[in-house]
Amino acid sequence: MQGLTSLEDARKTVLDSVRPLGLEKVGLLEALGRVLGEDIIAARDNPPWDNSAMDGFAVRWEDIKQEHAITKPAVLTVIEDVPAGKAATRSVGPGQAIRIMTGAPVPKGADTVVKVEETEPYGDSVRIFKPERRGANIRPQGEDVKKGDCIIAKGTQIRPAEAGMLAILARSFVFVYQRPRVAILSTGDELADLDERFDEDKIVNSNSYGIAAAVQEAGGIPFLLGIARDQPSALKEKIAHGLNADILVLSGGVSMGDYDFTKAVFKELGAEMHFWKLAIRPGQPLAFGRIQHTLAFGLPGNPVSSMVTFEQLVRPAMLKMSGHRSYGRPVVQAAFQEKFSKRPDRRHFLRGILSLEGGVLKVRTTGEQGSGILTSMVKANGLIDVPEHVERLNPGDTVDVQVLSGQFWAR
């Protein structure tokens, strides 16, 4: 449709104007969810030496390889008993064995470990009832990690597995990308904040809280700037407080109404501005640009529109700033369960409920899809992405769904 900007173009403009933030050093316990700002190179092998996978006896395979082990067990002299955390002082010679614990270094001379369950004490010796294969029950040096290899790449988000690996590599501190600081401002004379007494004719400012939570969920640090009244001077003053942040997110006042000043004030305060009528629904009008060093987004005021446009544009910008290498939610394909029709002009994001039924991923809408119906977001675990050109959907049609929460997998 003429005059409307596609979401792809808008996303490209946003992402092209974002650079990853600088790095900071954090302790391993604070690193969960952060994005690594350095390649993690192994300074040594893991395991650092060949070690035993079992409690048992380190032996020479030559000595135990006989075929009729059960009726004619090998008998080996036990020359040392090595407790956990210690290494053997002697090496295993012909006819000898050393008793070792799981994880202990394999003594020199030995090439095989026999589990304690396959043996029986026999005076100062041990009887071995199983002809193990050569090398059995030994975890070779470097089987997990080889010295010099890049084990975790820069740009990886730290999960419990990475945290454990960092500990193995003796990294108690790591460099991660800084978290984006996001200032949040709501606009509108009709709004009242949670901590105010207000009349029945006011609307509670919900956007600031929904957006702040979305910022936190995306790994950022939110700051609430409160509510700006619908006057250019009030708006300018509040915005000025947000210009230390990496990102400023306003909601409301971006339409063409008499009290919609966001676009004009953005222009007065800064240089390059982009103002779009996005070819999406919900969330048509959107202002975006850079004011000094801060990326400024003017999102539509309707609660659902502000959340959906945050998802599509602000979140990707935050993820890029945070050092991530991909900026979208996971997208799955699911079988649509309803009938739906629209004009072939804009891309729609229907709030959807994903479910896994008999191994098939299905999705239905949350019901009424008005942009003021925030319960549609409350019920949703996905956004059904209906492309511009599509006019109708029928039950069973395959649709793309942006996954907002993975709960539906849990059964």
Q: How far is the CB of 260 from Mg ion (least distance, A)?
A: 6
Say which amino acid occupies 166: L
**Interface residue with ligand AMP, options 96, 205, 309, 322 (CB under 6 A):** 205
| Residue 255 within binding range of ligand AMP, rule CB under 6 A | yes
Burial 11-49 (b: 16+ CB within 10 A, else e): beebeeebebbebeebebeebeebbbbeebebeebbbee
| Residue 203 within binding range of ligand AMP, rule CB under 6 A | yes
| Residue 207 within binding range of ligand AMP, rule CB under 6 A | yes
User: Going by C-beta distance under 8 Å and a sequence separation of 6 or more, which residues neighbour residue 195?
Assistant: none
| Residue 102 within binding range of ligand AMP, rule CB under 6 A | no
Longest dimension (CA), the chain: 99
| Separation in Å, CA 61 to CA 118, 122, 123, 126, 252 | 14, 19, 22, 15, 77
Q: How far is the CB of 325 from Mg ion (least distance, A)?
A: 37
407: tokens are 């709960």
H or E segment to which residue 364 belongs: strand 360-365
Q: How far is the CB of 186 from Mg ion (least distance, A)?
A: 9
Cite the DSSP H helix spans in 2-123: 7-16, 61-64
Q: Which is nearer to ligand AMP, 186 or 309 (CB)?
A: 186
377: tokens are 């977001």
| Residue 56 within binding range of Mg ion, rule CB under 5 A | no
**Interface residue with Mg ion, options 73, 180, 188, 282 (CB under 5 A):** 188
Torsion sign (Cα): 192, 194, 196, 198:
positive
Q: How far is the CB of 391 from ligand AMP (least distance, A)?
A: 28
**10 Å Cβ neighbour count for 240?**
13
Contact pattern for ligand AMP over residues 8 through 47, marking x by CB under 6 A? ----------------------------------------
Q: How far is the CB of 232 from ligand AMP (least distance, A)?
A: 14
| Separation in Å, CA 263 to CA 229, 259, 269, 299 | 15, 11, 10, 11
Contact pattern for ligand AMP over residues 153 through 192, marking x by CB under 6 A? ---------------------------------x-x-xx-
| Separation in Å, CA 321 to CA 162, 231, 248, 271, 288 | 21, 32, 14, 21, 16
Residues touching ligand AMP, count (CB under 6 A)? 19
| Residue 300 within binding range of Mg ion, rule CB under 5 A | no
| Residue 242 within binding range of ligand AMP, rule CB under 6 A | no
Going by C-alpha positions, the residue among 324, 268, 322 that lies closest to residue 296 is 268
**Interface residue with ligand AMP, options 37, 73, 219, 253 (CB under 6 A):** 253
Q: Which is nearer to ligand AMP, 216 or 394 (CB)?
A: 216
Instruction: Please choose which of Mg ion, ligand AMP, none residue 255 contacts, taking the beta carbon within 5 to 8 angstroms, the exact cut-off set by kind.
Output: ligand AMP
Q: How far is the CB of 184 from Mg ion (least distance, A)?
A: 15
**Interface residue with Mg ion, options 253, 282, 300, 316 (CB under 5 A):** 253
| Residue 308 within binding range of ligand AMP, rule CB under 6 A | no
Going by C-alpha positions, the residue among 331, 330, 332, 350 that lies closest to residue 393 is 350
Distance CA 59, CA 82 (A): 14
* Cβ atoms of residues 313 and 288 within 8 Å: yes
**Interface residue with Mg ion, options 219, 252, 298, 303 (CB under 5 A):** 252
DSSP state of 312: I
| Separation in Å, CA 272 to CA 28, 193, 266, 383 | 40, 32, 9, 31
Q: How far is the CB of 204 from ligand AMP (least distance, A)?
A: 7
Residues touching Mg ion, count (CB under 5 A)? 3
Q: How far is the CB of 28 from ligand AMP (least distance, A)?
A: 39
**Interface residue with ligand AMP, options 107, 180, 220, 303 (CB under 6 A):** 303
Instruction: Please choose which of ligand AMP, Mg ion, none residue 205 contacts, taking the beta carbon within 5 to 8 angstroms, the exact cut-off set by kind.
Output: ligand AMP
Distance CA 245, CA 211 (A): 15
Instruction: Please choose which of ligand AMP, Mg ion, none residue 190 contacts, taking the beta carbon within 5 to 8 angstroms, the exact cut-off set by kind.
Output: ligand AMP
Q: Which is nearer to ligand AMP, 18 or 286 (CB)?
A: 286
Q: Which is nearer to ligand AMP, 344 or 370 (CB)?
A: 370
Residues that bind Mg ion (CB under 5 A): 188, 252-253
